[in-house]
Amino acid sequence: MQSIYLTYLNRLDVEQLALTDAEILEAVESALEAQGNRQTVIEPRMHLVPRDSAEGHFNVLRGVIHPLGLAGVKVVGDFVNNYKRELPSELAVLNLFDPETGAPKAILDATSITDMRTGAMTALGAKHLARKNSKVLGHIGARGTSYWNVRLLDHLFNFDEIRVHSKREESRNAFAERLSHDLGKPVHAMDDWESCVVDADIVVEASRLPEPQPLLKTEWIKRGALVMPYGTMSAVELSLTDIMDKMVVDDWGQCRKGLPFGALRQHVDSDRLSEETLHAELGEIVAGKKAGRESDDETILFWHRGLSLSDIGLGHAMLEKAKQMGIGQSLRFA
């Protein structure tokens, strides 16, 4: 039997790679383009709930990107009370394989990959769907992915005003302070949802609710805004889809009826968002198959559930950079 070796990148390796904002966005956008050109395979995510979904669960994401020659399976735990143990709320492992032989090619600590690729998906959604002159960001939530949402969005838009809010005062203040330091500009911690969201050009809802609760009011969304909700539990009103000129998702297969969780689950189940009302998947827009924003007056909704392809694309970028820098361990599998 031929010897098989795989690359292992742990958290310290991933940190040493220090992917730039541009490298992160390029990797994820390339994966989206492959999806739009139908050069990928995506399997809907699966969930493993150890006890109570309100406390936490595992997500299992699977996909193939043929141009990269990689198949991937990511397992990510999402446990809301991890902060009490001084752990990130999300901890993840990405496994990469040769899609021709099934041979394992790499194992990566995907905790930061999960955060980065989610932020990249949010930012790329805005790149194609927000007004080019968007200057005010309203961001709900301070979870692990939230930092990269704001950082990568600001990389593209250089906002005049950034507002953030989360339920716990200490969390939102620390979040705003970290962002202010890293971005070199003021980031305002707001005391409530309305003051954070009202009249914002781009609205991101990344809350962590134990059960669905319509805290984001449709009346706060201004004409021409881009709204991106992606919490596990819905925090938006059913009327949100009524004001949208276009609705876009990352992958319809993960949004369709019959699946649990998601910010727009009730909207799908009640046919407010369906294959008939859906404008496009983001990959179709990136690949030039469908239009993105076409006028400043359009109010647009982008719902991303979490795309395995973005994990694989980012994992590939990390492996390539690790080879150049001589980072990581080679482990013998067979």
Domain that holds residue 59: 5-113+309-332
Give the position of tokens 């969304």: 221
Residue 106 lies in a domain: yes
The tokens describing 4, both together, are 């098989």
Residues 218 and 201 in one domain: yes
Q: What is the mean pLDDT of residues 55-71?
A: 95
SS3 category, 219? helix
pLDDT of residue 180: 97
Residues 140 and 255 in one domain: yes
Residues 141 and 56 in one domain: no
Residues 242 and 268 in one domain: yes
Strands 329-332 and 246-249: unpaired
Q: What is the pLDDT of residues 122-154, one digit of tens each?
A: 999 999 999 999 999 999 999 878 999 999 999
Percent of the chain surpassing pLDDT 70: 100
Banded model confidence at residue 176, pLDDT cuts 50, 70, 90: very high
SS3 category, 226? strand
CATH code assigned at 97: 3.30.1780.10
pLDDT of residue 183: 97
Banded model confidence at residue 292, pLDDT cuts 50, 70, 90: very high
Residue 120 lies in a domain: no
- 298, pLDDT greater than 90: yes
Residues 84 and 221 in one domain: no
CATH code assigned at 191: 3.40.50.720
Q: Is 276 exposed, middle or buried (0-12, 13-18, 19+ CB in 10 A)?
A: exposed
Residue 90 lies in a domain: yes
Residue 264 lies in a domain: yes
Residues 200 and 299 in one domain: yes
Q: For residues 55 and 311, which has the higher predicted lDDT (pLDDT)?
A: 311
Q: What is the mean pLDDT of residues 150-169?
A: 97
Q: What is the mean pLDDT of residues 164-183?
A: 95
Q: What is the mean pLDDT of residues 244-254?
A: 94
Residues 42 and 161 in one domain: no
Residues 176 and 30 in one domain: no
Residue 87 lies in a domain: yes
pLDDT of residue 83: 87
Residue 143 lies in a domain: yes
Residues 154 and 242 in one domain: yes
Residue 122 lies in a domain: no
Q: How many domains does the chain have?
A: 2
- 261, pLDDT greater than 80: no
Residues 141 and 18 in one domain: no
Which residues are paired to 188 by β-bridges?
Answer: 163
Banded model confidence at residue 232, pLDDT cuts 50, 70, 90: confident
Residues 170 and 273 in one domain: yes
The tokens describing 104, both together, are 């394992």
Contacts of 117 (CB under 8 A, 6+ apart): 24, 28, 307, 310, 311, 313, 314
Q: What is the mean pLDDT of residues 2-19?
A: 96
pLDDT of residue 44: 84
Residue 68 lies in a domain: yes
Banded model confidence at residue 296, pLDDT cuts 50, 70, 90: very high
